[in-house]
Amino acid sequence: MPNLNTAAPGVDGYFPLNEPEIGTAYRNTDVFPSNETLPVLFQPLTIKNVTFKNRIFVSAMCQYSSDNGHATDWHLVHLGGFATRGSGAITVEATAVVPEGRLSAQDAGLWEDSQIAPLKRIVNFVHSQGTKIGIQLAHGGRKASTLPPWVYANAAGTYKADTYVIQEDEGGFADKIYGPSEISFADNYPHPKAMTEVEMQRVEDAFIAAIERCKAIGFDFIELHAAHGYLFHNFLSPLSNARADGYGGSLANRLRFPLRVIERAREAWAEKPLFVRISATDWAEGPEMDDSGNWRQWGIEQSKVFVGEMEKLGVDLVDASSGGNWVKQRISLGHGYQVQFGEALKKAYPNLAIGTVGLLVDPVQIESYLKDGKADIVFLARALMRDPHWPMTAAQALGVAVKPANQYERAWPAMLAS
């Protein structure tokens, strides 16, 4: 029998085959007796018809590094690195379905066919490493056309711009910003125009056109962005939606536009998992509902209703985040500070997959959240930025042996000896 460095099948180019896939727990318990009982974090999970090798998902992270919406080699290296280090799934950053839906002029886009090829190259590489990859489709709403964070203010504290708004000669498009109402996020943000029915239909159609491009690219799942003060969240919250028509006022009206887009997205993306990221609360002052029964801000009780409607439409997973829609929000940050929202949604809808987020870094604590049924998967961002090998670090901390990339096996003797 020849000793071959076998190529990964079904992808363009040569990449050594990893067996099992990188980040998969070894099942030979004679060699790895500690794997007899696997931590939930390293148990596979099937959502719709896609099986994820573990519960560590790379959250969408804006990189402000696209060329007129086109992914670049930065994205190949950034996302590809997570694929070689054991994450169960990767989510491409918030990707605008129309040019004016970008948060910054250097945000990712999927509004034209020329943007397919660079994303397809990334998907090909990620698949060659045995990892699933999806994309977060988005529209920035009233927070679009703003500066990247390091352009607005540098980390050294020596520079800070007097506005978040990208000017026209800097590639900005602040005159094309839309939201449900003419309410700015803050004084130094763009002033939005209230969307007409025609504009809403154009954006809805753009989401569906982007989904068709996702099929050509070969993504394994899609996440729709309805959080962090962007367009769909703008419609959901009474803090940003003051409309007097059928899309404002009552909770049912505020849900109407996001749900109609989600329904069409489900129909268009029928065969693979559909996720939705939400902000479970605005973190505004005062109660979610006042003593007169009026909703004052977006919160967990309305989120439960929203999630229930999404479950009826066939959404496969809700990614429970929070905040981003009220400039004066005050949050007590800490490990797992948002797990409470995923837990509440999981309790309300036990048959729906729930993802949890929020400065998560400690593998033992994360495992407890999953083991206690507070969520089904964990979305990580900053922890993976600091340590792309976090899945291997977590495996070592939890006493489980998982497959490193062939090229990196020599770096993990302690983990493989568990």
103: closest CA among 53, 51, 66? Answer: 66
Residues 6 or more apart whose Cβ sits within 8 Å of residue 256: 235, 246, 247
DSSP 197: H
Give the alpha-carbon dihedral of 342, 343, 348, 351, to 10 degrees: 80
Integer Cα distance of 285 and 330 in angstroms: 8
- Please, what's the b/e burial string for 205-221 (b: 16 or more CB within 10 A of its CB; e: otherwise)? ebbebbbebbeebebbb
Q: Among all residues, which ones are annotated catalytic? A: 230
Q: Are strands 56-58 and 132-138 parallel, antiparallel or unpaired?
A: unpaired
Length in residues, the chain: 418
Q: Could you tell me the two tokens for 356?
A: 């949890």
Amino acid at 229: G
Quick one: which of 264, 266, 282 has its CA closest to 274? 266
Strand 45-47 and strand 50-52: the pairing is antiparallel
How far apart CA 207 and CA 133 sit, in angstroms, is: 19
Q: Counting runs of H as helices and runs of E as strands, what totals does the chain give?
A: 12, 13
